[in-house]
């Protein structure tokens, strides 16, 4: 892989570095607890150490990186307990979004969600995990989108980045689609039926069940 610096000839800005490093952490190129030595990252990504340093400071506030005084930065390792907490917070926030989405949804958007429901049923019948997983992500994103809640959306997005490793494992669990499909369909039904309370409950139940699965992997 060629670095961006190698291609463009200029060095990366702080904002670009934040994006690049965030992707590297969320994407798993930088693994939990891995040390992030400023000088190494600087030569790796073709940036000055000062900019690397600034980027690490921002990612620390985002919760992706952990720093201790005079001892440098590491990729933050999220414990199972913490992943459960994060998922519970997501449950509360996405339930809020589902509630607002049920209040605001248009007929066009409802038709779109119904079509998505069809694709999800199909995918489960065919045993197509990748397609189902994709629909899953689209559903959650669409509900947040329709809710038009900027603050909740930003918070959910940040938390997702921290726990993405656990989500990933989850989707591969055998028998998981059979459990989650009816939950997803219940969310779609309630949102499309303009039923805020039912939509919030359905979303909360769904993500609480995700939290339970994560909890159970702790043993």
Partner DNA sequence: GCAAGCAATATTGTCAACAACTTTGTACCA
Partner DNA sequence: TGGTACAAAGTTGTTGACAATATTGCTTGC
For its own copies, which is the closer residue by CB, 67 or 121? 67
Using rule CB under 7 A, residue 70 touches DNA: yes
For its own copies, which is the closer residue by CB, 86 or 210? 86
Instruction: Give the residue, chosen from 67, 121, 129, 194, that forms a contact with DNA under the rule CB under 7 A.
Output: 67
For the segment 29-48, give every residue that binds DNA (CB under 7 A): 35-40, 47-48
Using rule CB under 7 A, residue 205 touches DNA: no
Residue position matching structure tokens 């045993």: 127
Q: Give the H or E element holding residue 11.
A: none
For 18-53, give the DSSP string: HHHHHHHHHTTSS-TT-EE-HHHHHHHHT--HHHHH
Q: Give the residue among 187, 182, 181 at the shortest CA–CA distance from 98.
A: 187
CB of 26 to DNA, least distance (A): 21
The residues of the shown chain that bind its own copies, judged by CB under 8 A, are 14-15, 53-54, 57-58, 60-62, 69, 82, 85-86, 88-89, 91-93, 95-96, 149-152, 155, 159
Alpha helices in the chain (DSSP H): 4-8, 14-26, 38-45, 49-62, 80-104, 107-126, 129-147, 150-171, 176-192, 196-216
Binding site for DNA (CB under 7 A): 11, 13-14, 35-40, 47-51, 53, 67, 69-73
């Amino acid at each position: 892989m060629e670095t961006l610096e190698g291609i463009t000839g200029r060095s990366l800005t702080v904002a670009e570095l934040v994006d690049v490093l965030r992707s590297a952490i969320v994407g798993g190129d930088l693994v939990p607890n891995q040390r992030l030595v400023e000088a190494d990252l600087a030569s790796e990504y073709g940036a000055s150490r000062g900019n690397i340093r600034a980027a690490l400071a921002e990612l620390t506030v985002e919760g992706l990186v952990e720093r201790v005084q005079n001892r440098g930065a590491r990729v933050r390792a999220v414990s199972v307990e913490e992943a459960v907490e994060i998922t519970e917070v997501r449950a509360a926030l996405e339930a809020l979004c589902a509630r607002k989405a049920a209040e605001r949804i248009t007929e066009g958007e409802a038709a779109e969600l119904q079509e998505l429901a069809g694709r999800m049923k199909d995918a489960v019948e065919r045993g197509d995990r990748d397609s189902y997983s994709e629909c899953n992500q689209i559903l959650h994103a669409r509900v947040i989108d329709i809710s038009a809640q900027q603050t909740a959306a930003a918070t959910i997005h940040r938390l997702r980045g921290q726990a993405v490793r656990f989500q990933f494992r989850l989707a591969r669990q055998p028998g998981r689609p059979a459990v989650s499909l009816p939950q997803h369909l219940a969310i779609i039904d309630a949102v499309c039926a303009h039923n805020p309370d039912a939509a919030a409950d359905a979303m909360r139940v769904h993500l609480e069940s995700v939290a339970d699965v994560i909890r159970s992997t702790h043993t």
